[in-house]
């Protein structure tokens, strides 16, 4: 197959290109050239910005397009219109954040989508992200009809993750220190290894399987406690874990998802974020590797980063120690 990847040098796109070239597909990467210049010396690169340089793709033909970098409807719409005449199939990476209501577990692909008053906005924030992705999906479906795949993943994890939202936990729990864990160990968690997602997307492109899918994992329920325990075991350094109630953390100004990645409060509005219905994707071949492998490979990759690289998410060691001391003081005060 001839495959065009919009993006392709960062995280999911990188893993997709690796998977596709490994089985002999002919891949072209269209990207801005800001990352991964040293990657994939044997493939074709077209360097340009999809917001203005789409004419660089004119006169070509591809069997499939994978769009990993679409966030603004205007830009995605322009890409779709440009490629409608030269591509047979379009796969778009969206997000479970498109759903208007994630307060209940079990949201499936028919859930109502988020909306936004100003559809022309280009500002991507926590408030606009999901609605903008939903509008991007609409552009793709409008242009490619039943020849498109809309992929709605939750938290994507594993090697080369630029956000460190998952990496924080394997790295922190591989240390010989006391680690603060937030909220309840029984809270459900949904994560998917970028390599598993990439391989499944490739499978769907190869078969030109259209539709919309919640690409979440694992298929068996996973709790925050199990995630923490697995990271601790794989790290092998004997970190101690102290679970601190979410009310204490929220009162201390700790921001869920950023200060403590993966964690969301157990409030009604978040009850379904980590319990999205992924059965449709699992029935169509999505498979996930063991969590231990993802944790081990993430640690191995992290060890190759430049020494002293700052984490892009999570508490500093100093802030974590301060919170733990405050929590112990609060407990002692309650006991007297």
What is the longest distance spanned by two Cα atoms in the chain? 77
Question: The pTM is what?
Answer: 0.96
User: Where would I find the beta strands (DSSP E) of the chain?
Assistant: 2-6, 26-31, 44-47, 64-67, 90-93, 148-153, 155-157, 178-182, 191-193, 211-215, 240-244
The answer to whether the beta carbons of residues 6 and 12 sit under 8 Å apart is: no
pLDDT > 90: percent of the chain = 85
CA gap 61, 165 in Å, rounded: 37
Q: For residue 48, what pLDDT is reported?
A: 95
Q: Is the pLDDT of residue 305 over 90?
A: yes
* Residue limits of CATH 3.90.25 in the chain: 168-188+220-271+289-330
- The SS3 of residue 19 is helix
* Residue limits of CATH 3.40.50.720 in the chain: 2-153
pLDDT tens by residue, 202-253: 999 999 999 999 999 998 999 999 999 999 999 998 899 999 999 999 999 9
- The SS3 of residue 44 is strand
Query: How far, CA to CA in Å, does 188 sit from each of 25, 69, 74, 158, 263?
Result: 37, 28, 36, 19, 10
pLDDT tens by residue, 23-76: 999 999 999 988 888 899 989 999 999 999 999 999 999 999 999 999 999 999
DSSP 143-169: HHTTSEEEEEESEEESTT-SS-TTTHH
pLDDT > 70: percent of the chain = 99
pLDDT tens by residue, 135-194: 999 999 999 999 999 999 999 999 999 999 999 999 999 988 899 999 999 999 999 999
Fold of 168-188+220-271+289-330: UDP-galactose 4-epimerase; domain 1 (3.90.25)
pLDDT band at 310 (very low <50, low <70, confident <90, very high): confident
Is the CATH code 3.40.50.720 the one for domain 2-153?
yes
pLDDT tens by residue, 88-100: 999 999 999 999 9
Quote the mean pLDDT of the chain. Answer: 94
44-47 vs 178-182, strand pairing mode: unpaired
Cα angle 52, 56, 58 (rounded to 5 degrees) comes to: 115
CA 286, chain centre distance (Å): 15
Q: For residue 176, what pLDDT is reported?
A: 82
The answer to whether the beta carbons of residues 161 and 11 sit under 8 Å apart is: yes
């Amino acid at each position: 197959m001839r495959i065009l990847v919009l993006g392709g040098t960062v995280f999911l796109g990188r893993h997709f290109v690796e998977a596709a070239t490994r089985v002999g597909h002919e891949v072209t990467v269209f990207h801005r050239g800001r990352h991964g210049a040293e990657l994939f010396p044997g493939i074709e690169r077209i360097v340009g910005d999809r917001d203005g340089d789409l004419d660089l793709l004119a006169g070509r033909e591809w069997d499939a397009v994978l769009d990993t970098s679409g966030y603004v409807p205007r830009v995605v719409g322009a890409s779709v219109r440009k490629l409608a005449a030269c591509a047979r199939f379009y796969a778009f990476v969206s997000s479970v954040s498109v759903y208007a209501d994630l307060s209940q577990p079990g949201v499936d692909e028919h859930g109502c989508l988020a909306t936004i008053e100003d559809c022309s906005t280009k500002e991507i924030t926590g408030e606009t992200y999901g609605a903008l992705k939903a509008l991007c999906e609409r552009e793709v479906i409008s242009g490619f009809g039943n020849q498109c795949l809309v992929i709605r993943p939750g938290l994507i994890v594993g090697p080369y993750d630029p956000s460190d939202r998952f990496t924080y936990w394997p790295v922190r729990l591989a240390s010989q220190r006391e680690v603060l864990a937030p909220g309840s160990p029984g809270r459900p968690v949904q994560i998917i290894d970028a390599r598993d997602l990439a391989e499944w997307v490739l499978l769907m492109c190869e078969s030109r399987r259209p539709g919309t899918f919640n690409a979440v994992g694992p298929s068996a329920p996973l709790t925050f406690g199990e995630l923490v325990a697995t990271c601790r075991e794989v790290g092998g350094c004997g970190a101690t874990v102290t679970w601190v109630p979410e009310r204490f953390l929220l009162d201390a100004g700790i921001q869920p998802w950023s200060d403590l990645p993966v964690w969301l409060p157990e409030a009604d509005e978040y009850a379904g974020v980590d319990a999205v219905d992924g059965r449709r994707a699992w029935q169509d071949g999505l498979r996930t590797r063991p969590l231990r492998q993802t944790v081990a490979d993430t640690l191995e990759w992290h060890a190759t980063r430049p020494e002293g690289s700052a984490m892009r998410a999570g508490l500093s060691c100093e802030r974590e120690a301060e919170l733990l001391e405050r929590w112990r003081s609060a407990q002692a005060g309650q006991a007297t």
